[in-house]
Amino acid sequence: MKHRRGILILSALGLGLVAVARTARAQTPAVRLDSARALVRIGEYDSATAWLNPVFQDPSSTQAQRGRAFLLSASALFMKENLTLTPQARSMLRFALQADSSVRVEPELETDVPGIREHVETLRRELYPPLTARPAAPVVEALTVNPAMLTDTTLPAVNTSFPIAPRPSRAARAIAAVLRADARAVEIWRDTAEAADSTRPLVWNLRGRDGAIVPEGLYAVQVWAQEPGTGVLSATVERTLHVSRLAADTQPLPPPLQPSAFAPETLRLRHGSPGAVLVGAALGAAAAVLPTAFGRTELNQGLAGDQTAYAVAASVGVAGLVGYLGGHRARYSPENVQRNAELRRTDAARRAAVAAANAEARANAPVRVRLERSGP
Amino acid sequence: MRRRGSCGSPRARSPGRGVAAAPRIRARLALAIALVAPALPGAARAQGIGGTVGGFNTQRRIYYESAVYEQTGLMYGGAGSLRLGPLLVEAGTLQGTLAGDGSTANADTKVRATTARAQIALGPWARLGAQLESRRYEADAGPTVWRLLGAAVHVEPGLSITGLRGWADVAILPASLVSGGPKLKVAMQVAVGASFSPRRSPLNLRLGYRFERYDIEASGLAGERYEQFRGIVAEAGVRLGR
């Protein structure tokens, strides 16, 4: 019995240790770095920053892990501020390089955080200037722009803003313009950032000159810079954006009203018009009395009545009677006409409401903006 | 009351002029038909055409010089019609031999009536227009031609069943005369009856009673002469188009 109890106690202890180890593994700096990277990828920047904080306080964190944690924090801040490198983000990058001078921005991170690599490399050069660098005569570098923008994003239709960071190589007036890719003569939007603000992104609200969100299609974003003093222009860099609308949540139009939904506007009544009997009787009587009414006495005196006239008179009279008994007559029904008109009005109103709701849903459908390809 | 006399054939009183007038009437009818004929194909597509055959079981009675003569027989014939919107143009002929009593004064007479009628629709069941008729009598004594001209009215009220209608034709023909002879003081034709067109069929059947009265004024030595035609009318026809 004692032997069996010992085995049970040891098994419980083993399982507890495994659980503790798993818990400890879940909170290791490496795991937190991987999770924070994933959060940056899906745009959860605040969560990524919060998830990284324990890494800085964890004494088991290596310098490389701290450097990576600072880099990811800086990236999250950079994206949160619409591709703007705030002083806080810049400090984070500096801490990253101080913790690990070899910290690198891998291509996937550069895709998710466009422009962060350049800032990292700029700071690296400031902190760790090349030992072989010798003082040389100042070289005037060509003015260039390296625009950055989100590669694939979905934006709401209201208060839409799509940041475009011109990123001139030095302080200069930066200009960005959007044209229709298939009609370059049509400029849809243009904005300018003065030299002092050239590090800040320009924001396109995805609307054309008419104030409406641009239709689906390809749009060329052209970015260039101009030096304020000399007027020197940079080369124009172009990017192509594909703008599309996500499917709107619409509802189908009600089916058209079936003829059976309407009440008959003309009622079909049994028996024809009593006028049929009168007409038949009148024509029959006319046939019967024609010879005596219109004939001359000299010709008809002493003659018996014309049997054929009577036969025709009877036939016509019977025809009138048959017409009355076997016929039908129509009666106009204003009540049904009114009911049908109301039915049509209600149906038209319902269809108009659905159409309006669908139009509104389409107008408010989110907009997807995707960077198609990079220009020179 | 019957009595032999020359009243059975008015041609006996004016042999030359009556015969000469008939070709003139026929020429006018031919001219009218020639004018209308070119428009027929298009009009037929746009409107409608019709045709009728039928018979008139005729009793003809003549009063002349205080005597009454009676002839009976079946007249048969046909008519064609063309509808151009509200205008209806109709032409037809009716002919037959009316048998008298075999005497010289009341000999058998061949009768041929050629009628043209143009009417305008006044509504869905009424038409008003003009009628021109040439009526030729041929007896042993020779031919006689009447020319009858006047107004004609046609009414055709419905009897509450689709295709079943009553009808009445009334023609008052004041501008009538015996060619080369006296005028007709009274000339009228009245017919009433009923018609039936089976549903979705162009067929049309008509049954009616027809009565005609003609009062011929005295001329020269001849006294006034009265005639009437009466009898049952049965017709069958087709109507195509609208």
Distances, alpha carbon B213 to alpha carbons B170, B229, B230, in Å: 12, 7, 9
Q: Do residues A35 and A42 touch, judged by C-beta distance below 8 A?
A: no
Contacts of B61 in chain A (CB under 8 A): 299-300
Q: Kindly state the average pLDDT of the residues B196-207.
A: 93
Tell me if A299 and B63 make a contact (CB, 8 A cut-off): yes
Q: Which tokens hold the place of A294?
A: 């219109």
Q: β-pairing, B177-178 with A266-270?
A: unpaired
Tell me if A316 and B157 make a contact (CB, 8 A cut-off): no
Across chain B, mean pLDDT equals 86
What residue in A sits closest to B196 (Cα-Cα)? Answer: A319
The C-alpha of A336 sits at a distance from chain B's nearest C-alpha, in angstroms, of: 24
Residue type at A17 in one-letter notation: L
Residue of A145, A141, A153, A98 whose CA lies nearest to A123: A98
Contacts of A329 in chain B (CB under 8 A): 160
Considering only CB atoms, A298 lies closest to which of B63, B196, B232, namely B63
What is the CB neighbour count within 10 angstroms for residue A12?
Answer: 10
**All domains of chain A in start order, with CATH:** 25-127 (1.25.40), 148-249+365-374 (2.60.40.4070), 259-362 (no CATH)
Percent of chain B with pLDDT over 70: 85
Interfacial residues of A (vs B; Cβ cutoff 8 Å): 271-273, 275-276, 279-280, 283, 286-287, 290-291, 294-296, 298-300, 306, 308-309, 311-313, 315-316, 319-320, 322-324, 326-329
- What whole-number distance in Å separates Cα of residue B66 and Cα of residue A18? 148
What does chain A come to in residues?
376
Tell me if B211 and A296 make a contact (CB, 8 A cut-off): no
Considering only CB atoms, A323 lies closest to which of B160, B188, B193, namely B160
Considering only CB atoms, A291 lies closest to which of B164, B167, B230, namely B230
- What whole-number distance in Å separates Cα of residue A361 and Cα of residue A353? 12
pLDDT of chain A, 376 residues: tens digit per residue? 556 776 777 777 666 656 655 554 557 888 889 989 888 888 888 888 888 888 888 888 888 888 999 999 999 988 888 888 888 899 899 889 888 888 888 888 888 888 888 889 888 888 887 766 566 666 677 889 999 998 899 998 888 889 999 989 888 999 999 999 888 888 899 999 888 877 788 999 999 888 889 999 999 999 999 988 888 889 999 999 999 989 888 899 889 999 999 999 988 888 888 888 999 999 999 999 988 889 888 888 777 778 889 999 999 999 999 999 988 888 889 999 999 999 999 999 999 999 999 988 888 899 999 998 554 4
The pLDDT score that the predictor gives to residue B22 is: 63
Here the contacts of A21-25 (C-beta below 8 Å, separation 24 or greater) are none
Which of B7, B63, B160 to mutate to probe the A interface, most A CBs <10 Å? Answer: B160
- What whole-number distance in Å separates Cα of residue B11 and Cα of residue B4? 16
What residue in A sits closest to B57 (Cα-Cα)? Answer: A308
Q: Which tokens hold the place of A207?
A: 């609307």
Tell me if A279 and B207 make a contact (CB, 8 A cut-off): no
Considering only CB atoms, B188 lies closest to which of A294, A298, A299, namely A294
Radius of gyration of chain A (CA): 45
Distances, alpha carbon A109 to alpha carbons A71, A150, B172, in Å: 10, 13, 110
CA-based angle A306:A311:A317, to the nearest 5? 125
Q: Kindly state the average pLDDT of the residues B222-237.
A: 93
Contacts of A275 in chain B (CB under 8 A): 157, 160
Burial of A151 (0-12, 13-18, 19+ CB in 10 A): middle
Here the contacts of A321-324 (C-beta below 8 Å, separation 24 or greater) are A321/A276, A321/A277, A321/A280, A322/B159, A322/B161, A322/B164, A323/A272, A323/A276, A323/A277, A323/A280, A323/B158, A323/B159, A323/B160, A323/B161, A323/B164, A324/A271, A324/A272, A324/A273, A324/A274, A324/A276, A324/A277, A324/B159, A324/B160
Tell me if A299 and B190 make a contact (CB, 8 A cut-off): no
Q: β-pairing, A328-332 with B203-216?
A: unpaired
The pLDDT score that the predictor gives to residue B4 is: 36
Q: Which tokens hold the place of B169?
A: 């034709």
Which of B64, B209, B212, B230 to mutate to probe the A interface, most A CBs <10 Å? Answer: B209
What is the CB neighbour count within 10 angstroms for residue B50?
Answer: 18
Is B7's pLDDT higher than 50?
no
What residue in B sits closest to A288 (Cα-Cα)? Answer: B209
Tell me if A273 and B160 make a contact (CB, 8 A cut-off): yes
Q: Where are the domains of chain B?
A: 10-241
Contacts of B196 in chain A (CB under 8 A): 319
Contacts of A312 in chain B (CB under 8 A): 192-193, 207-209, 232
- What whole-number distance in Å separates Cα of residue B52 and Cα of residue B8? 30
The pLDDT score that the predictor gives to residue B126 is: 94
ipTM (interface pTM): 0.78
Tell me which architecture the domain covering B10-241 has in CATH: Beta Barrel (2.40)
What are the counts of helices (DSSP H) followed by strands (DSSP E) for chain B?
2, 11
B138 φ, ψ (degrees, to nearest 5)? -125, 120
Q: Do residues B139 and B10 touch, judged by C-beta distance below 8 A?
A: no
Which of A268, A278, A299, A300 to mutate to probe the B interface, most B CBs <10 Å? Answer: A299
Residue of A55, A125, A49 whose CA lies nearest to A94: A125
